[in-house]
């Protein structure tokens, strides 16, 4: 079994984790267009090589980031997402012509 090192819980069997998708910065929520949101939600770089991606340790519901090589499956490093997200973002509902459709 492959071992992944969780920043909170230490080295654990890969089966304790769930893959959570590629990391890409969230669009500016105040004025991103529907097209930008579509791209953010559905589209991926799907790089063959080193990528930064989300993982969740299931038993602790703890989300973190990993750098992994998608050609070799080697994990280069794992780190807490506080390093990238350190402030709370509140979403207020906005109505644009696109969302009204």
Partner 1 sequence: MDPSISPTQTSRRSSLYRRHSQLNAEFHSFGETIAVHHYGSDETTQAQNLGLADLSTLPRVGFKGAGALAWAEQCGVHFPQQPNWASKQPDGTLVARLSSSELLMIGDYSGHSPLIDRLAAADRPERVYPLPRADSHSWLALCGSHAPDTLAKVCAVDLRPQHFENGRIAQTSLAKINAIILRSDIGNLTNYAIFSDSSSVEYLWDSLLDAMAEHLGSPVGLQALIDNR
Partner 2 sequence: MPFGLLKYGLSSEYPAQQHFNPAADLKKHYDVVIIGAGGHGTGIAYHLAKYHGITNVAVLEKSYLGGGNTARNTAVIRSNYLTEEGVRFYRESVKLWQNLSNEFDYNVMLENRGQLTLAHSDAAVRSFRWRAEVNQHMGVRSELVDRQQIAELVPNLRMSEESRFPIMAGLWHADGATARHDAVVWGYARGACQRGVELHQLTEVQDVEITAGRVTAVLTNRGRVGCGAVVQAVAGASSVVANMAGIKLPIHSYPLQAMVTQPYKPLLTPHVSSPHVHVYVHQTSRGEFVIGGGSDPSPLYNTRATLEQRESLSAAALELFPFLAQARLLRQWAGTTDMTPDYSPIMGLSPVENYYLDAGWGTWGFKATPICGVSMAELVATQKVPDIIAPFALERFYRFEQINEAGATAASH
Looking at residue 87, the DSSP 8-state letter turns out to be S
Least distance (Å) from partner 2 to the CB of residue 23? 13
- Closest to partner 1 by CB, 16 or 39: 16
Give me the phi and psi of 41, to 5 degrees please: -80, -45
Dist CA 64 CA 96 (whole Å): 33
Of residues 15, 99, 21, the one with CA closest to residue 54: 21
Q: Is 60 in the site for partner 1 (CB under 8 A)?
A: yes
Per CB under 8 A, does 62 bind partner 1? yes
18 is a contact residue toward partner 1 (CB under 8 A): no
Binder of residue 18, out of partner 2, partner 1, none (CB less than 5 to 8 A by kind): partner 2
The verdict on 65 binding partner 1 (CB under 8 A) reads no
d(CA 78, CA 7): 6
Q: Which of residues 31-90 bind partner 2 (CB under 8 A)?
A: 34-35, 38-39, 42-48, 53, 70-73
Task: Verify binding: residue 19, partner 2, rule CB under 8 A.
Answer: yes
Structure tokens, 29:
């929520």
């Amino acid at each position: 079994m492959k071992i992944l090192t969780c920043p909170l819980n230490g080295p654990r069997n890969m089966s304790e984790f769930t893959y959570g998708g590629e990391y890409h910065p969230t669009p500016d929520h105040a004025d991103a267009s529907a097209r930008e949101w579509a791209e953010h939600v559905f589209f991926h770089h799907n790089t063959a090589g080193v990528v930064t991606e989300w993982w969740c340790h299931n038993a602790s519901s703890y989300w973190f980031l990993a750098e992994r090589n998608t050609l070799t499956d080697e994990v280069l490093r794992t780190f807490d997402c506080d390093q990238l997200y350190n402030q709370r973002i509140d979403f207020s509902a906005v109505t644009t012509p696109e969302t009204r459709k």
